[in-house]
Structure 1
Amino acid sequence: MTEERSTTTRDAVELTYLPVLADAVGAIRARAKATPAGRLQNGITLACGLLILGALVLNLTGRKGPGLGATVFCVAALAFFLGLYALVPGLQGQQLHRMYASQGEFRVVVDDDGVRQFSRDLDMTYRWPALPRYTETDELFVLLTGDRHGVGMAILPKRGTANPADVDRLRAILNRSITRM
């Protein structure tokens, strides 16, 4: 057991970081792109926006000329759907960030056993079956639960690594332990 633990520790990657709003928003956006439920939500929102845009174009180019009421309705609906698409991840990210920002600095250890997070009031261990998949952005690794919605997630900011080579080592651990989306 001691031998196994020392091997795991040697292969571990450690991250230290303060949570920032951009991490939370980036994770929410990445989850929306990586999960079937997120892609469906994005697709429906964009399809509604395109439908409204089409109605606006038809209204503006119709034989009778543009109707004021229809134009106002279409512009308002289009603004709503575009705002929904743009603002919802930011609002969700703010909620997520508020939850973690109060914890101060995070220390995370990732190895072949899973992910361990430590902060002021938090000491959590995720074994790989709890977070069986991940997605990557330019700034983050976002680990997701196995459900269709990716309800649970762990955020690993790349800036938390001690040096750039640790990002590649972390990616290697993730690739051999869980599925990349």
Structure 2
Amino acid sequence: MVEDQGAALQQKSPEEPRGAGADVVELEYTPVVADFTSALRARKGASKAGRRQYWVIGGVAVAAAVQVAEVVSGHGGSPFLGVWLAVFVPLILLSPWLMARQFLRLAERQGTFRVSVTDAGLTVATDNSTTVLNWVAQPRYRETKDVFVMLSPDKNAVGFTMLPKRAVRTPEDVDRLRAILDRNLTRV
């Protein structure tokens, strides 16, 4: 009888699917500017302050249209507005890239990032530190073409963790990672 139970256990275990809690996706990467740029753009779209910047860009576009209409109609126009537009618009559009360069300088000191993602949360280990995050710490996420970005719950998404898609071990891991994030976080 004991032999029958042992044989039954041996037959069941290889064929049983792994439970949701056993699913692990591992990433290993050295950050690059493009990772941070994509993450910061995603964060900008998910935060109130970032969305306000889009309104500012819209206002600047309207001001530029008014400026062009004044010049075309022969009513002159303010040269100050033209200079302001020439400086302000590129600065807003380039801000994620400029900030990404600053983040990269900080991240380079950490060396290689090794991340394990499970249904319990994630562990980020670098050459100098290890951090464990439960899903409560960053309960929402956004996906871009290049990265998954986990975001803190505050309205400006001050805290974020990026998970570059290029860092997964196999292409199927991107879908597994998305499934874990969908089970545990809110997509924004």
TM-score (norm 2): 0.84
Shift of 1:84: 2.1
CA spacing shift, 1:26–1:9, aligned 2, 3 Å:
same
2:62 pairs with 1:51: yes
2:121 — aligned with what?
A: 114
RMSD of aligned alpha carbons: 1.8
Shift of 1:7: 5.8
Q: 1:74 aligns with which of 77, 81, 98?
A: 81
Shift of 1:40: 1.4
2:47 pairs with 1:40: no
Shift of 1:50: 1.6
2:163 — aligned with what?
A: 156
8 Å CA contact 1:128, 1:178 repeated in 2:
yes
Deviations 1:56-112 (A, max 9, x none): 1232133xx253x72x32321221231122121111111111111121111000001
1:179 — aligned with what?
A: 186
CA spacing shift, 1:9–1:118, aligned 2, 3 Å:
farther
- Provide the rounded CA distance (Å) in 2 between the counterparts of 1:77 and 1:21: 28
- Provide the rounded CA distance (Å) in 2 between the counterparts of 1:77 and 1:161: 44
8 Å CA contact 1:107, 1:119 repeated in 2:
yes
Unaligned runs of 5+ in 1: 1-5
Shift of 1:30: 0.8
- Provide the rounded CA distance (Å) in 2 between the counterparts of 1:51 and 1:138: 30
8 Å CA contact 1:42, 1:85 repeated in 2:
no
1:16 — aligned with what?
A: 28
1:133 — aligned with what?
A: 140
8 Å CA contact 1:32, 1:42 repeated in 2:
no
8 Å CA contact 1:13, 1:169 repeated in 2:
yes
- Provide the rounded CA distance (Å) in 1 between the counterparts of 2:183 and 2:110: 30
Q: 2:98 aligns with which of 91, 94, 116?
A: 91
Unaligned runs of 5+ in 2: 1-17
Shift of 1:48: 2.9
Shift of 1:141: 0.2
8 Å CA contact 1:142, 1:155 repeated in 2:
yes
- Provide the rounded CA distance (Å) in 1 between the counterparts of 2:62 and 2:88: 10
Identity %: 41
Q: Which runs of 4+ in 1 moved over 3 A?
A: 6-10
- Provide the rounded CA distance (Å) in 1 between the counterparts of 2:161 and 2:20: 20
Question: Secondary structure at 2:97's aligned position in 1?
Answer: helix
Question: Secondary structure at 2:179's aligned position in 1?
Answer: helix
